[in-house]
Every structure is written in structure tokens, then in C-alpha cells.
Structure 1
């Protein structure tokens, strides 16, 4: 073996040694969010309700999921991006004294196809204003480059003008959790919101370690809830041997899992460390369950017809809405109007749309 070949081998070995066995630790502040079980059980109901396809019932908060711990919620704006099958709402929860923003997970493909696609997603977009920070282009675009963002920002401004400077709580499940995170960062960085709280359920990774460091500094009041063997929090994959190029979760994770002691089974809610990638939490299991992805705290997080982007809307709701040339829908109301004066229980003459 020639001298040049040996030199190349030595250099290559050094490069491998510098990356193997050493994970890149994202830099985080120590003022992490404090987990609140009661708040989690409330916000998961909002994350579930946003999956409802009957826009009239959702807008008037009379749907079958618009009850229980979320009863009395007042929707200010409901936004539906038909092309991308995205949906979100903004409203005020007076019992929480907060503006609540909820994002629906993707339905563009079947969940199985979407999960398989995430295995191959690379970091492919530089986040503006954050050196070395890279994010998932699809998740970033879903929030920033659709009708969702302007609708959300308009509604938050309107709510603050009427109710004052309320705390903002942002939630979502699956891809909706990814959008919720980008929304919270947007509100903090670009719209000077000082009181943004985030709680997501079954959220995928959305950026690298550099992005995670920025995010946790700017939006420290963030909780990511993961459930047992839920597959989606394991995606896109985390590669400890390529720390500069891999996706990385931000903190703080709360991992829900069952602990069996003989014939007894206890539900554990484990608050994880501040790394975002605690090896003793969801990373300690294989993460191969779709069933664990679709139910958190006993609440279903999916549409009744998962593969469909079908929506239903009563014609009488049209006076509260606008539809652009692409068919995207924004339903909006003045916060001062409590009663929408609409019989939302009747679907006779309803309008159905699907993509």
C-alpha cells in the first residue's frame, strides 16, 4: 500500500472517529416548561377537534368533539387550505384565559405512506435569520407558504384587540404539531409575542441541532408529548453518528407509557431531560406503532375518514366566510358576537367539498 493511500486512510479514519460515538448536544436554556397533566388533557381535546370535517359544527363549536374540557370555546377564525388538506382554528378559551391555536395533522396521503416518506426526508431548508439552522422544507412550507399563516396571524391580532394581551397556547398532533412549532416561533420572532406556550402530541422532528438550540431559547415554554411506541416522534430519523446532518428534537419531552407490575398496569407520564433526545424516553423503544400515534390520553386524534380531505359546510355559514379562487376557506367572526345564530345541527342543504 502506497504512502498516499495510507494518508487517505488515516484522514478518513480520523473523520469517522470524530463523529462516531459522540452526539451533538443542542444548547438549551434551563428554563424549560413545567408539565401540567390537566392542561395536557385539555389541549389534546383541541388537537382532536380540529380534525372534524363539518366546518359548520366546528365553527360554532357544536361538534361531537367540541364538548367536555373545551366546552364554551369561542372560535374566531377557521382556516382550511383545500390544496394541501390543512386545517387550523384560532379562538379564545375563557377558562384558560388564553388564545388557543390548533393545527390538524396531514391527510394528503394515507398515514402509512406519509410515515414511509418521512424515513427519507433530508434537512433541506435554511431557516431565515438562524445561522446553520436547517429544517424540513415540507413542514416549514405547510405553515409559512399556505393560506394557514395569514389566517392565523389575522385572528390572533383580532383576538388581542378585543380581549387584550392574553397568553397564546398553540397545539397540534402529528404534522399539526410541526406546524404549531413553526407558528409559535413565528409569533415570537416576527410578531413580538411574549407569552407563547406550545404543547404538541406525536410530533415529528422538524430541524437540526442548531435549529433546536435557537427554538428552545426563543420558545422555552414548549412540551412535546409522546406516547409509548408511537412511530412518528422517531421520524425523520435521528442519526447519532452524523450529528451535524441529522434531525434533532427540541425539549421538553413528556413520554407516556405503560408500566406493568404483575397483573397491574400503571400509566406513567415521564418528564424527560432537557436534551430533546433523552435516550431513556421514547428513544428507548423501537417506535413502530401507528395505533399509539392515533390516541393520546384516551382521545382519538384522527378524522373519521383518514384518507379523505372531505369537508361539509352549511350554506348559512357563508356570511362568515370567504373562499379564494383556489377554493381555500376562511371562516371569521367578530369576537364581540357570541351567538352565531345558526342551527348547526341541520346538514340539510349542506355543501360538501373534497380533494
Structure 2
């Protein structure tokens, strides 16, 4: 079974290899479109979901009881349906309904940042085809990170059942999937997976410090089918992993928190402006693991 440590070891190794490889050419879209600042009300609208992502680090028993201190108190009206994971071979996750947001919430735990550099192994980040049983109709040109796909498959059907139960119980019409770090990668994969099996509701994915999950065809698929916002904090190095030279590519939808704490919307895929994550952190030596957990508008990830 692929642990979170192995997954992130692969990411770091791929980044080190990328230092010796030429960077891809700038995309036309990053040249054409303007980077814009978010308003204070736009930033505040993300905060409940930031807390939902942070809550995913809490023990499943506590999230199921919705008794996890400040994280749970920030979304006090939340009604949990199911939770699981062991925090090692299977990341923590939970599903429930938020009356104040009018949405089913699906949340995935991320990785302990303190272990990222300490746990290097010989694992490699590779691209592979999607399982067409879990992802029916996905083109063979669409490829994802092998480790992330294996992690998502462990909980896919259990989470699908919990989401269906929650929709039925609350008459929900919206589903929001959230996660930080590795949890962000799993959230994006769930954001692709769930609409293939559930109709009649709208889906949105919001991630924090998310690594690259798939290839160019995957990024294009996400842009065409998924409502995604991926928020990156300052010089966080995780969003630049795995390296683009390995064929990995971010979808559109980045929001970058700059050093002056201004939040900006970065149009296009892997925008190379220095105001956006890919341009601001060209390699891991210009990045910081200290920025990975936040704060995101005052919220630091963890339970």
C-alpha cells in the first residue's frame, strides 16, 4: 500500500530532478490574461471551506461526533454522515452536510509537512491511465499521478456511498470537495470521480497547497468539466511538485497568496508570472515548507 510518506518522497525526488531539466515554454494564456486581486469579501467566502479542509486532520471519531475544537466550532452547524481512514495507509476523510453553505462537504486529510524532507525513498512519481471502472468514459490520453490514484481508489466507493446518502438525507443540490496538500490531490480526483456517478447536483472543488495531479490532458479535462479553485500560500514548494518536465501540469483556477498577504487570481494553467506560484517558486530551493500549512486568511492547517 502506498503511504503518504512515499507519495511525497516521490514528489521531492521529482523536484530535485527538475533542477537539471529545461523549463517548458510560457503558455499563451498566461501572457494574455490579467492577474487580479481578490476582494476582502471574496477572500472571506473561502474561510468556511478552509476550516473544513483543516478539520480533515482531526481523528475520524471526532469528526463523526463533530467535536474537534476550533475547527469544528468554525462550522458549528455541520451535520456529519461518515468518516474514516487511519492517517497512515489511508488518509483521514469525512462527509457531511453544511446547512449554512447549503452543500454536502467531502474532505481529505493532507500530509505532515515535518515528514516531507525526512522521509526520502527511492519512489518515483509516474503518470498512469485512470481506472475506467472508477472513472468511466475518461480518455486514455488523460493520465494521473500513480500514487494519488491508488490513494483515492482506497476510499472512492465508500465516499461515493456517503455522498449519495447525504444528498438524499438533506435534499442537497451542491457538493463541495476540499483538502490540503495530499488531501488536495485526493479532493481533485474526487472532484472528477463523483460527477461521473452522481447527477442532478452541482460540484465544486477547493484545495490548498495542492501538488500537480496529472498531465496536460488531465488539466484540460478539469478545466472543461470541474469547478476548481486551488489556493497556494506564498513560497510553498508543494504546488510546484511533481516537476513539469515529468509531464505534470496544473489545471486553471489558482489563487495565490503573495508575500504581502494579498490574494490574487492567476488565470491559465501553471501561470509563470512571479505573482503566481509556478513563477514565484521556480525550484524547491526557492520554496519553503514553512508556508505549506498556511496561514490561509488566519487558518493554519492541522487539528
Corresponding residue for residue 269 of structure 2 = 275
For 1:16-165, list aligned pairs within 5 A.
22=25, 36-53=42-59, 55-81=60-86, 84-106=89-111, 110-113=115-118, 120-126=124-130, 128=132, 129-144=138-153, 146=154, 148-165=155-172
Tell me, in whole angstroms, the C-alpha distance in 2 between the residues paired with 1:107 and 1:85: 14
Structure 2: unaligned runs, 5 residues or longer: 1-21, 133-137
Tell me, in whole angstroms, the C-alpha distance in 2 between the residues paired with 1:232 and 1:293: 7
* 1:284 and 2:290 matched: no
Cα deviation 1:156-212 (Å, max 9, x = unaligned): 111111211320011000000000011011111233364001100000001011111
Corresponding residue for residue 254 of structure 1 = 255
Cα deviation 1:221-277 (Å, max 9, x = unaligned): 2100000000100100123xxxxx510001100000123xxxxxxx21010012243
- State the secondary structure of the residue aligned to 1:300: coil
- State the secondary structure of the residue aligned to 1:112: coil
Tell me, in whole angstroms, the C-alpha distance in 2 between the residues paired with 1:274 and 1:70: 32
2:271/2:279 contact within 8 Å kept: no
Q: Which of 230, 248, 254 in structure 2 is aligned with 1:224?
A: 230
Tell me, in whole angstroms, the C-alpha distance in 2 between the residues paired with 1:194 and 1:177: 21
The 1:109/1:138 distance shift into structure 2, 3 A limit, reads farther
The 1:180/1:22 distance shift into structure 2, 3 A limit, reads same
**Aligned pairs, number:** 262
- State the secondary structure of the residue aligned to 1:299: coil
Tell me, in whole angstroms, the C-alpha distance in 2 between the residues paired with 1:285 and 1:23: 14
Q: Give, in angstroms, the shift of residue 68 of structure 1.
A: 4.2
For 1:150-229, list aligned pairs within 5 A.
150-192=157-199, 194-219=201-226, 221-229=227-235
- State the secondary structure of the residue aligned to 1:77: strand
The 1:48/1:95 distance shift into structure 2, 3 A limit, reads same
Runs of 4+ in 1 over 4 A off after TM superposition: 23-26, 116-120
Tell me how large the CA RMSD over aligned residues is: 2.8
Q: Give, in angstroms, the shift of residue 24 of structure 1.
A: 6.5
Q: Give, in angstroms, the shift of residue 86 of structure 1.
A: 1.1
Tell me, in whole angstroms, the C-alpha distance in 2 between the residues paired with 1:149 and 1:21: 33
Tell me, in whole angstroms, the C-alpha distance in 2 between the residues paired with 1:275 and 1:193: 29
The 1:139/1:94 distance shift into structure 2, 3 A limit, reads same
2:43/2:297 contact within 8 Å kept: no
- State the secondary structure of the residue aligned to 2:158: helix
Tell me, in whole angstroms, the C-alpha distance in 2 between the residues paired with 1:83 and 1:199: 23
The 1:92/1:21 distance shift into structure 2, 3 A limit, reads closer
2:173/2:200 contact within 8 Å kept: no
Tell me, in whole angstroms, the C-alpha distance in 2 between the residues paired with 1:184 and 1:193: 15
The 1:176/1:81 distance shift into structure 2, 3 A limit, reads same
Higher strand proportion (structure 1 or 2)? 1
For 1:270-349, list aligned pairs within 5 A.
270-280=264-274, 281-286=276-281, 287-295=286-294, 296-302=296-302
Tell me, in whole angstroms, the C-alpha distance in 2 between the residues paired with 1:151 and 1:214: 24
Structure 1: unaligned runs, 5 residues or longer: 1-18, 240-244, 260-266, 304-355
Corresponding residue for residue 7 of structure 1 = none
Q: Give, in angstroms, the shift of residue 38 of structure 1.
A: 2.2
2:172/2:201 contact within 8 Å kept: no
Q: Give, in angstroms, the shift of residue 126 of structure 1.
A: 4.7
